Amino acid sequence: MIIKPKVRGFVCVTAHPTGCAANVRQQIDHVKAQGPIKNGPKNVLVIGASTGFGLASRITAAFGSSAATLGVFFERPSEEGRTATPGWYNTIAVTQAARSAGLYAGNLNGDAFSDEIKKQALALIARDMGPIDLVVYSLASPRRTHPKTGVVHKSVLKPLDVPYTNKTVDTDKGIVSMVTIEPATEAETTDTVAVMGGEDWEMWIDALVDAKLLAPGATSVAYSYIGPVHTWPIYKDGTIGRAKIDLERAAHAIDAKLKTHGGGRALISVNKALVSQASAAIPVVPLYISILYKVMKAKGTHEGCIEQMQRLFATELYNGSSPRLDDEGRVRVDDWEMRPEIQDAVSAIWPQVTTGNVDDLTDIAGYRSEFLRLFGFGLPDVNYDAEVEPHIPMS
């Protein structure tokens, strides 16, 4: 079939297998071009491995450190008349590339929150890999069925206590408008923490330790975001922020556990704002990203997921000494984004943006391009008018 992008709201409901593979190849090429990461990880578990920072982490570990990787994800294969999700095609591409390079690449498609998937992961690790020396926790999901209680928790993107009003942009139509978001209830906040907080990360580490499948001195890292004052009410100071506080609580608990396990460590990496399926759903954030891209590209400091993860691994996690930490003990690879000159420029542009000038004052075109690339569209040297087979099995 000929596959074209079909965008509905903040989701593209089609994905292009050839384009997704080309996107993965570009990321692999970037990592290879930076050279080997000395003393990098060798047996890596990536929880949330099929898109975004998780996918980039897996690529960096495999092609920067020649690591064996096991990816855990929850993706939908193709159906009659319907393409698979982009993460399905991404995983096939990275698996084929890794195996062609002589690297182990295992995959588990299912609910990473569940006890069953954890058991299957432990069995694969024991059979194929040996003790894990890096656990990347990069899970993004709108809901979680708690494995102990059976309760289904659903996350929300809302402020706390009072309504929040600010500018946002319809990235498809280019319309800038004001949006008001009502505050979350206490139950919604609790549910968001249950989905996006640190409990499941702790469960994964406990399962690995109990099974004696975590290497002495192992590292575990989870990803977070803080961002600028423009987005704090909906992010840092909202329901997501509460979940991130719990993620940091979990990081301290896991770090204490791993320190007694051969001197291991657990870290939070605060990453840069980037176009993702998750960020596209958050009001206000797409406008901020569009302005940020304009400013950072002009300064020559813009990075995508793969540039961020390669830099994190090479200059922080595996730099031959200790990573640089902020006052809260977090790694900050959002440092280029948060430079005062970058944020001052964003703040100067923000109040000026209207529907009439959004194309000039922001990089909304770059935002749209990056969004479509997530689904395999807009890649160079891909013939999007050619017939392509959407039904590709997972190896």
Q: Among all residues, which ones are annotated catalytic? A: 235
* DSSP-derived 3-state class of residue 307: helix
Pairing mode, strands 68-73 and 105-109: parallel
Please write down the HEC assignment for all residues of 94-120. Answer: HHHHHHHCCCCEEEEECCCCCHHHHHH
Between CA 24 and CA 304 the distance in angstroms is 13
E strand or H helix at 124:
helix 115-124
Output the DSSP codes for 126-193.
IIII-SEEEEEE----SEEE-TTT-PEEE-----SSS-EEEEEEETTTTEEEEEEEPPPPHHHHHHHH
| Distance (Å, whole) CA 235 – CA 201 | 21
Element spanning 216, H or E: strand 214-224
Cα 377 to chain center, whole Å? 19
Please tell me the distance from the alpha carbon of residue 73 to that of residue 82, in angstroms, as a whole number. 20
Helix, strand, coil share (%) of the chain residues, nearest 5: 40, 15, 40
What is the rounded CA–CA span in Å between residue 258 and residue 255? 5
Query: How many other CB atoms are there within 10 angstroms of residue 160's CB atom?
Result: 18
**What angle (nearest 5°) sits at the alpha carbon of residue 17, between those of residues 3 and 37?**
150
Q: Cα(149)–Cα(217) distance, rounded to whole angstroms?
A: 33
Helices (H) and strands (E) in the chain, counts: 12, 13
203 vs 213: CA distance, rounded Å? 14
The number of CA neighbours under 13 Å toward the Cβ of 284 is 24
Q: Which two tokens stand for residue 349?
A: 């542009």
